[in-house]
Amino acid sequence: MKYRYLLFDLDGTVSESAAGIRASLEHAIRVIGCPMPNLDDYTLYVGPPLIDTFLHLCGLDPETAERGAQLYRDYYQEKGKYLNRAYQGIPELLKKLRREDVRICICTSKYEPFATEILDILGLSDCFDAVCGSNLDGSRKDKKDLIPYAVSRLGGDLEADRERVVMIGDSWYDAQGARLCRVDFLGVRYGYGATEPMERQGVKAFADTPEELDALLRA
């Protein structure tokens, strides 16, 4: 296999998570009392950093956005995370990759402890060497910051190992992070993101299923 370091996005790539994210977002918006935006388009809030959703989608000021993010986290911790499901074929793919000479991690804008708990819920914790996410204060929320951190957590160095790193995700945010870090990006079409924005950021190839993703990793 060409790659040594495989960085998987979580929401929309490993986990079918929109239901829990939407429920938590709706709860926070109701408590704050601001107008409820149309949440039918999952691409608007599954993938972007949480604080950005409250700032831009909900139009809140920074202080209220921080309150919204905390309300979201509290509800997600209590109820939302249990609505996650692994995409069909993902457990089989990850178990197959564990037999290869590769290092695998989750690379997500989600708060890192939440991401760890979700993998436990999905029964996939043993499939990853590390879980890499954002901090509670909102730092390390962008993929351009997460990718170097993730490679380091896996025992590599981005500068030295760039050609052996691949970011795998379903959104513009994943593709942009890969471009800024100058690593390959493989997009998945079964998630929540639109194809065209990923294409504009640069994508090596797209997979419609986890089985196709397996073939691309071995190409």
Of 9, 52, 170, 174, the catalytic one is: 9
* For helices 143-153 and 172-181, angle between their N-to-C axes, nearest 10 degrees: 70
Q: Could you confirm whether 208 is annotated as catalytic?
A: no
Task: Provide the strand spans (E) within the chain.
Answer: 5-8, 15-16, 85-86, 103-111, 130-134, 165-169, 184-188, 205-207
Tokens in use for 63? 């202080």
**Continuous H helices in 33-84:** 50-52, 62-78
177-180: long-range contacts, CB 8 A cutoff, minimum separation 24: 177/142, 177/143, 177/144, 177/146, 177/147, 178/143, 178/147, 178/202, 180/143, 180/144
Name the residues annotated as catalytic: 9
